[in-house]
Amino acid sequence: MNQKFIPLSVPNLKGNELKYVTHAIETEWVSSAGAYINEFEEKTARYVKSKGAVSCQNGTAGLHIALKVCGVTKDDEVIVPTLTFIAAVNPVKYIGAEPIFMDCDDSLTIDVEKLHTFCKNECEFIGGKLINKKSKKQIKAVLVVHVFGNMADMEGIIEIANEFNLQVVEDATEAIGTYYIKGKYKGRHAGTIGNIGVYSFNGNKIITTGGGGMIVSDDEELLRRAKHLTTQAKSDELYYTHDEIGYNYRMTNLQAALGIAQLEQLEDFIKIKEENYKLYKKEIRKIEGLSLLDFKDSIRSNYWFYALNCNNAYPLNRDEMIKYLLSKKIQVRPIWGLIHEQKPYLNNQAYKIEKAKRYLERIVNIPCSSNLTREDVLYVVECLKNAKQCICALGGGKAEC
């Protein structure tokens, strides 16, 4: 039998995408003005229950603007996680500010205890400003990432932010649809708890506009500033006067047409992803040395990415497993290389990074698309079970089993 290729995470475009995009083309509204853009902003805001939303070209652009409107300048520092995609951190540098890298906890999101210890022991809080003892610079914000659709500990983070006067920027690019079902923030969506949050609609995310992003906030002044900056900072529409340096970051009507169709299906996608996650979880539990990382039980997760944890009892290490699964036409990948170890960030401060290193060595992301069938999941599990028989073949430098 010729086994089909099972991709890691690909778009699912079987709803009204073609209809809405066709309408955008037929009406010849394809660029950065058009009714779909406003409609997509309104519908996203309504879905996540935020006061408003501002569309942008992608999540990276959204994070750039989010940091700017939160008041981060070239003289400041921003605390960021080291275990994340580099697009979460680069916007800090776009502004000319410097990141300080923080470890993760067992949920792979920022370690709140270390964050607190860092602010208490390594900084001074004077006149409402948190000053890094080492660099003497002000730390203006903490950027948290809701890794793989899990939720960072927002209760802990907001407490720390209040104690040390920090802005909280939520990189919720992977977590649209994730919300608290318990605790202080019950009902609140990822991205809407800090000062400002950002979603991504890149092709590998749970819903896609090809490329796209959305800024959300309950602070109307931040939203107004974000809209201003993403649309070239025009202070007069007719006469083209500009009061500061703006950006051409607004989403196009074509992207938004796709986005509306995708948003209509988001809850269905989450259902499929949850079912597949639970099936994987149940089957993988039976394999010695393997487990799937949990999502927190205080949240309804969007189940975006599944993290397979592989310990010493499993016959293959991370790299062998990747090679083996790729030979079985299953697309998998390790988690991101830690950002504090990437060339552009080697000189930046990193605080007691321990768990991130350990998880990096052991975690592999396995197929999770909303197109994934039950049969696909069972095939992946079957291959994981049979890995033992492949060790010799892999030892010979060949990944054929």
Residues 136-165 that bind ligand PLP (CB under 6 A): 145
User: Could you say which of 21, 87, 97, 152 contacts ligand PLP (CB under 6 A)?
Assistant: 87
As a whole number of angstroms, the distance between CA 377 and CA 384 comes to: 11
Which of these ranges, 7-15, 84-92, 184-192, 222-230, lies near ligand PLP under the rule CB under 6 A?
A: 84-92
239 touches 85 (CB < 8 A):
no
As a whole number of angstroms, the distance between CA 395 and CA 244 comes to: 60
Q: How many residues bind ligand PLP (CB under 6 A)?
A: 14
Question: Which residues lie across from 78 on neighbouring strands?
Answer: 99, 141
As a whole number of angstroms, the distance between CA 149 and CA 303 comes to: 6
**Token pair for 300:** 């309804």
Which of these ranges, 83-91, 104-112, 230-238, 381-389, lies near ligand PLP under the rule CB under 6 A?
A: 83-91
User: Could you say which of 109, 200, 231, 348 contacts ligand PLP (CB under 6 A)?
Assistant: 200
Minimum distance from residue 248 beta carbon to ligand PLP (Å)? 15
* CB hemisphere CA count around 57 (13 angstroms): 13
User: Could you say which of 34, 99, 213, 259 contacts ligand PLP (CB under 6 A)?
Assistant: 213
Residues 296-355 that bind ligand PLP (CB under 6 A): none
Using CA atoms, how far residue 365 sits from 122, 134, 223, in Å, is: 35, 37, 34
Please report whether residue 171 would count as binding ligand PLP according to CB under 6 A: yes
User: Could you say which of 59, 149, 191, 259 contacts ligand PLP (CB under 6 A)?
Assistant: 59
Neighbours of 346 (CB within 10 A): 9
Which of these ranges, 6-14, 168-176, 272-280, 364-372, lies near ligand PLP under the rule CB under 6 A?
A: 168-176
389 touches 401 (CB < 8 A):
yes
Minimum distance from residue 88 beta carbon to ligand PLP (Å)? 4
User: Could you say which of 6, 69, 78, 88 contacts ligand PLP (CB under 6 A)?
Assistant: 88
179 touches 267 (CB < 8 A):
no
Closer of 130 and 260 to ligand PLP (Cβ): 260
164 touches 130 (CB < 8 A):
yes
DSSP assignment of 325-370: HHHTTB--EEPPPPGGGSGGGTTS-B----HHHHHHHHEEEE---T
Closer of 44 and 132 to ligand PLP (Cβ): 44
Please report whether residue 356 would count as binding ligand PLP according to CB under 6 A: no
Please report whether residue 170 would count as binding ligand PLP according to CB under 6 A: no
Closer of 84 and 369 to ligand PLP (Cβ): 84
Given the rule CB under 6 A, which residues bind ligand PLP?
A: 58-60, 84-85, 87-88, 145, 171, 173-174, 200, 202, 213
